[in-house]
Structure 1
């Protein structure tokens, strides 16, 4: 995971911790976000800025460091100065590595509230995939974790049954959105998943829709079609599958 993806994951983490409508979190993850320092008068880049509804200035700012070396007292002092300059009430310094023993003591003595947090690459990756779930289906946050887990497993070549398990409780609209995204981004893996669902899933609705997707992308073979028909009890559904 490179530093850009790491920072994007941290943005997603704070979007979850400070959800709308009472808060909003910048940046969007697409562009760098800057805020003019009240003492320095210079534009200061913010990895994450959390605003209360109706406020013009962030009350919480985050600096995320994808480092292999530990964060030391000098780094903490620099961050304290940064938080004071942008006028935030709280600062969160996040690293993928660790903090030296002196770093927490220096943070505790700061004139503003400073929190130190370690977010390893694996945790960050989970946040990043959760963010992808939000992008795919922004209407309902409840299922973003499931979508992210399924798509991460698909990209990593996970078995179709594991992917299917992650999506088991996801409503149809979200499932459709995830499948369409996967077809566009990971076609071969999406095909394997859909073939498994079409021939192995216990639910006839899942099997039919997987077969439909396979037909739409030109991968519904006659052997899969016959298997789906064999498993289908409804004559009308069997006729529809025959026509796919």
Structure 2
């Protein structure tokens, strides 16, 4: 659909796709996908998620750590150009757009071009991983604070990992940085048996959960190929009678229709 004559630009929605499973997108996000004229989506957005927008032109603008990916400036230009051609443009991002999603750069580009933009939040992977593993990130008397961090950096920025001081730590894109992260935490005085839970491909059919100690993490996660989240802290110590969670349920009919 073309923008109306009274409004020469369409509207752009930055939508959080959630951690992977198609039924973990919000109802608002799914409704907008079903109405979208064009969808610019991340590499981590699944085929099942894209089935929610069969009518839309789909443009892959994936960014994966350590792989050939689309430059952010080009993505910004694509958003502006498509808003000049279509009435409803969706930028579909894994997790939540406002957390490690480069939303500031895309919002700035759209605002500078005078294009209306709205953000639709998504379930960030840290919360989905806590649910999948049945491990709360906070625990009364044990963990009152949670820090989310990443070692991924912008061009020209120092790659030195800044590890926050918090009861529970959650490292996004932490697979390649596992050894260095563990070494720095051990050097800072964290105990060798500090609980670590690694979630690969969170909420997907091929989800994998690894339960380690900090000393194990120091040996690395070389066998992890999918997106990895590393959670660390006393709140992650397993409870008596703990039963591991299996992968999620099928997509409800109301979203797959």
Structure richer in helix, relative to its length: 1
| Structure of higher CA gyration radius | 1
Task: Say which structure, 1 or 2, has more relative contact order (CA 8 Å, 6+ apart).
Answer: 2
Structure 1 or 2: more strand by fraction: 2
